[in-house]
Structure formats: structure tokens, C-alpha cells
Chains A and B, each alone.
Chain A
């Protein structure tokens, strides 16, 4: 069997590749954001695009999130496919009204007349001592908005695939990237591919417990898994990827196999993705569960600047190991 051709790149390059391919494929795809053009993007995702596609398709905006997000939504109503970059996802809180009321709801309130094929993307999550306002996790704030789809990428492979799928999707999609994952390296296929927006990714099949995670916490989980395997556990790790809607099929099949669930997320404990996922699983798969669903989330605090304190706010691998041991019993 011929070996599939692959090339190695970093996560931000994978995002760039996906975005560039879609911009070449469809002239209606454009990028709108701060410093995306001449500067090449603050995380270099659009480096070189301005020269290639022109400054009208890679639009440098003033610092006015509310209006440029609204502008992208208005443009999407006519059939353009803008990709809005929030320099940091936290800044998009300024555009909350546009995202919740206009982006999410226009398809419904217009009785199906308009679709909003906009992609809103940017880095979020807790970084390296960036301070409270630059360490936001917006997935918990937007998850209740009807009409939005939300996906979180975690590897160069799924970053490129999800970016392409999100751009082609007729629904508004929020693509959550993580500040600390941009330099992850991986070999991805040369040929064109997309990832399904609503599907979860099986990271490691197992039998003892289902660990559900997404974005950066996937790596804390895989690290904890090494310790767990040494201690005789067989965890099944699923990167849920689709934060809205949840892939209840993949999750359900796993729960039916292992009967134990642990959710590991970077959202705050209160009102986070884990909170919704926990109640969705309990509602649908109660009979399959042998014990309570565990949920490890970040602490309900503004992210402190000091390094050791910041480490305490997010879930660390040793906490995951302890949680699994508690849920499965000592081996």
C-alpha cells in the first residue's frame, strides 16, 4: 500500500494552510480582524495573506470589536463568508451582543431567510501569566446561544480540518484555539481533508473509564494517562472537539463500554462546558453509569498573574490521576 504523503508543520501553520486553501477555493471568504493584514496576525495565522489576497480580503480593522463583528455578520447576511479573528477571544466579549443576538438568532427570527456563514476564531484559554483579562474561556459564555456551533481544535490535524469545515458550514461557527498550542508540531496529510464539526475524536481507546476533554487539557489528560497506565488503569480518552452540539453518539458508546466518566476541562467550574456535558450525559445515559460523573474544571477565580498561583487555577495531571483513582477504585 502506498505511503500517504505527509508534511510536518506547527498548529498555527496548519490553521493558516486551512484558511488559505478555503480563501483560494471561494472568493467570498475573507478575513476581518486586528492586525491580520500587514502585520500577518498576532499569532501569524494570516502571515503572507495580505500580499496574496489583497488588503480588501484580509481586512485590518481598528480596535472596535463590536462593530467589526457586527459588520462581518451583516456581510454574511448577503452571502460573503467572513472569518473574524479576535486577537484574543476575551476581546470578543465586547461583541457579545452582536454574536448572541444577531449572529446566533438571525436565521431563526427571519424565518429562515438569512443564514450567517461566519467563522469567529481566536486564541483563548489560560496562557503563561497573561493576567486575568487575557486568560478568558469564552466557550462557557456562548454555549447557551441558540444557533451557534462551537468547536475547539487541539492538534494541527484537527485545526486545519475544523477550520476548513467551519468556513464551509452554513451556520455561524466559533472556533476556539488555545494560546499555548500554537507551536505544537505534527505531520498532516498532503491531500485535502476536512473534519466533521459535530464529531468527537477518539484519542486513546480503553475500558476502565471515559475521560472527556478538549483543547489544551487533552495534553494534561494524555500525560496523566501515562501514569495511569503504569498503575494498571485503561482509560478511554475522547477529545470532544464539538462543544456545541455535543457528539452524544460517540460519548454514549463510550459510556456504555466503560460505565465511568470523568470530564476534564479548562472552563470555570460554574456554568462551564463540563457542567452542561455532565447533565446531558446523566440525562441520556443514567442507566449505564456505575458512579457519579467526575468533573475537573478550573477554579472560579480570575486567573492570577503569579506563576504558581496560575498553575493552581487550571487542572494539573496529578489531579486527573487522583480523580481517576477515586472514580475507578484503587488497583
Chain B
């Protein structure tokens, strides 16, 4: 009990950024124990038409180390993508997720392979979380054959059917009705899973989102609407675009929860709670209070509509990777040296994937015309011109 209180104090102190991780280094081997540890979530949940879940979450050393490693790989991947874009290996649009990693990593801790995720264009890390590889992401970003969409989708169109990741969507908000459809199918087929339909604070003002919420609430579809509120819709701050920036309340009859999106454990707890709710009672909205360090995309410096102090302030006080690092070190589940070793491993993983992706060739010209149509009933479809031989139905 005393230990628990000590952890609580540390947690509060961590939140204020007051304690530097000076507490270290018993030469203890890296803990990979799966024994449950109970930790407190510092920032309180806020519920709308629902009683918020407990602020105490069960985790384990293994899980926390896993969070650290995965988020670090994601961070390195996004930073590598930044350099690739600047050296013109990646063209077009590139929306980076660094800063928001806790959302997709925390989510995965509460989900399984029967659940579906659909998101918008900031999808590189979500793809990774669903079982994609860094090689697939880099190759797709560079438009190469080994990309997850064979190089034909690009940054905004990454999908992983096996992993239950339905994209990767370019048009703001259009993925929310698709998400309702995935949940509809899950209920229809009695698949015992939920759908997480993710969108941003910018998309929260789209009419189709409210249409989708209405139909999901009407039919009790097992969908969780996850609003990744990074406070800026490209260059427009939330207070300039929404009359009510309390996105977790905007579902009205759909209950909502506001979550500290920079805390993996808070996200895990919220998604676990929402999943139980959705399977029994229908949709819920989760607003993840998160932040992106980069601008909206690589063409946006990200500093014309917010101050550099704000960005560095969030990085100092709320960075998701640093939070896990401090947790691991303070609770003596890993030493600084262990974590450095993990970081080195992760950097190597990303570098190797990048090198391999650079070697991947561009798609063949025939790929321009493949995957337009699938073989239709009893005959082939060729486009405006047809070959000489008609194909007869069986």
C-alpha cells in the first residue's frame, strides 16, 4: 500500500515534470515480467452521459517495455519519413504522426484481431500497429513495389486486410460512415469485435460524422468513434472551427469520454472500457487529447499558427515516449542502459527497413491497369475496348 502511494506521488510529480529521471540504475536485468502491476492514470477521465472508468489501470513490465519499443520505432520511422520527403524520395502529401504515438499503441493493447480500425490520412503508425511492417510503410511512401498497397496508394492509402486495418482515407470525414459499415458487418455476421472509426478535430465538424453517429446509435452498432484531437485542423485551431470543441460531448445521445491521448495507459483503459460498452450498448465517442509535433503535412512548417514554445512545451511535459521511459525507470522495471539498448535496436530496425525499401523497384507498367476490376460474374471486364472473343456465361 505504501509502495502504491509512493507510485501515486511519483505519477503526480511526473505529470508536473518536476522530477528528472535521476532515480536509476540498480544493475537489474531488463524486466520482461508479465506480472500485473497497477498504475494510476494522472489526468482524470471526463465522461459525457457515462460514468468514467477507473483511473487505475492494470499493466505489466512486458507491456510497458513493448509500448516503449513500438512507440520508439514509430517515432524513428516518422522522422526518417521527414528526411525522405525533404530529399524527394516521398512526394505529394505526407502527414506525420510523431507526438500522437500513444493513441495507436494504447489502442492496440485493448484490441484483438477481430476488431477493425479505420482512420484518416495520418495512418503510417496505425498501419504499423495493426501488424504492418516498417518496410511496407517506407516502400509505399516511396511508391515502390513492396509497399503495402503495391505502391499505388501512397501515404494516405495504407491498408492491411489480415490485420483488420481498413485504411488510410484521404477525404476528411469520409471514413466515418465506412466505420459504421464495418461495425454493421460485425454485428450482422456476429463477429464479436468492435470497429474503431478514427477522425480528427477537423473532421469532427463534418455532417457525415453526425449521420454515422445517428445510424450507429439507432442500430446499436459496435463502433467506437475516436477523435484524435491534436487541436489544429491543418492551420485552424479548434476554437476557430468548432462552436463546441468538447468533441467527446458532441455525440449528444452517444456517450463520450475525454482521454489524455499522450498516455498509453489512459488510452488502453479508455479503449477497453469503450469496447465493453460498444459490444453491449452501441457506439461511444473517445476524444484523445493529443498533439502532433510536425505541421499538418510536410508542406506545413507548423509554426505559423502555433508558437514554437507551445510545441517544445508539450514535448517536454507530455511526450508519450518519455512518459513510459520515466515510468519504467522509476519503477525499476528497466535501467537507462536497457532502454538505450532498445532504442539502438529500434533505430537499426528502421534503418534496415529503409535501406531495403530504397532497393525495392517501382511497380511495372502493367500495374497501372491491374486491380481496377475484379473478374466479374462469368466474364472479364476490359474497359472501353473489348477483345475479339466474347466470353460466355457458364
Residues of A within 8 A of B (CB): 28, 30, 56, 59, 61-62, 64, 66-80, 97-98, 101-102, 106-115, 146-147, 149, 165, 168-171, 194, 196-199, 245-250, 276, 280, 284
Binary contact track B379-394/A, C-beta < 8 Å → 1, others 0: 1111111111010110
Among the listed A71, A171, A276, which residue makes an inter-chain contact with B184, where contact means beta carbons less than 8 Å apart? A71
Give the A-B pair count, Cβ closer than 8 A.
192
Residues of B within 8 A of A168 (CB): 377
Q: Is B17 an interface residue (CB 8 A)?
A: no
Known pairs A74-B166, A78-B182, A146-B372. 8 more at Cβ < 8 A? A76-B181, A77-B182, A80-B185, A110-B153, A110-B168, A113-B161, A114-B161, A198-B376
* A77 contacts B166, C-beta separation under 8 Å: yes
CA distance A198 to B109 in the complex (A): 47
Shortest A27–chain B CB gap in Å is 9
Residues of B within 8 A of A246 (CB): 384, 386
**Beyond A110-B161, A111-B152, A280-B384, is A70–B214 a contact (Cβ under 8 Å)?**
no
* B374 contacts A115, C-beta separation under 8 Å: yes
**Beyond A68-B177, A111-B150, A197-B377, is A284–B385 a contact (Cβ under 8 Å)?**
yes
User: What are 8 A-B contacts defined by CB distance under 8 Å?
Assistant: A64-B211, A64-B215, A68-B211, A78-B116, A107-B374, A196-B393, A245-B383, A248-B384
Residues of B within 8 A of A171 (CB): 373-374, 376, 381
Residues of A within 8 A of B380 (CB): 198
Give 3 nearest A-B pairs by CB, closest first.
A74-B181, A70-B177, A67-B211
Shortest A275–chain B CB gap in Å is 13
**Beyond A69-B177, A194-B377, is A110–B185 a contact (Cβ under 8 Å)?**
no
CA distance A250 to B392 in the complex (A): 13
* A70 contacts B159, C-beta separation under 8 Å: no
* A80 contacts B189, C-beta separation under 8 Å: yes
* B379 contacts A197, C-beta separation under 8 Å: yes
Q: Which of B351-394 contact A (CB under 8 A)?
A: 370-388, 390, 392-393
Shortest A219–chain B CB gap in Å is 26
CA distance A175 to B94 in the complex (A): 37
CA distance A280 to B383 in the complex (A): 11
Q: Is B318 an interface residue (CB 8 A)?
A: no
* B166 contacts A196, C-beta separation under 8 Å: no
Residues of A within 8 A of B178 (CB): 70-71, 73-74, 77, 98, 102
**Beyond A77-B166, A112-B150, A248-B385, is A170–B181 a contact (Cβ under 8 Å)?**
no
CA distance A248 to B390 in the complex (A): 10
* A101 contacts B170, C-beta separation under 8 Å: yes
CA distance A310 to B159 in the complex (A): 48
Residues of A within 8 A of B385 (CB): 248, 280, 284
Residues of A within 8 A of B149 (CB): 109-111, 113
Residues of A within 8 A of B185 (CB): 74-75, 77-80
Q: Is B186 an interface residue (CB 8 A)?
A: yes
Residues of A within 8 A of B180 (CB): 67, 70-71, 74
Residues of A within 8 A of B186 (CB): 78
Shortest B147–chain A CB gap in Å is 7
Q: Is B346 an interface residue (CB 8 A)?
A: no
**Beyond A64-B211, A72-B181, A249-B386, is A106–B167 a contact (Cβ under 8 Å)?**
yes
Residue with the greatest number of chain A CB neighbours at <10 A, chosen from B169, B180, B219, B384? B384
Residue with the greatest number of chain B CB neighbours at <10 A, chosen from A30, A62, A101, A113? A113
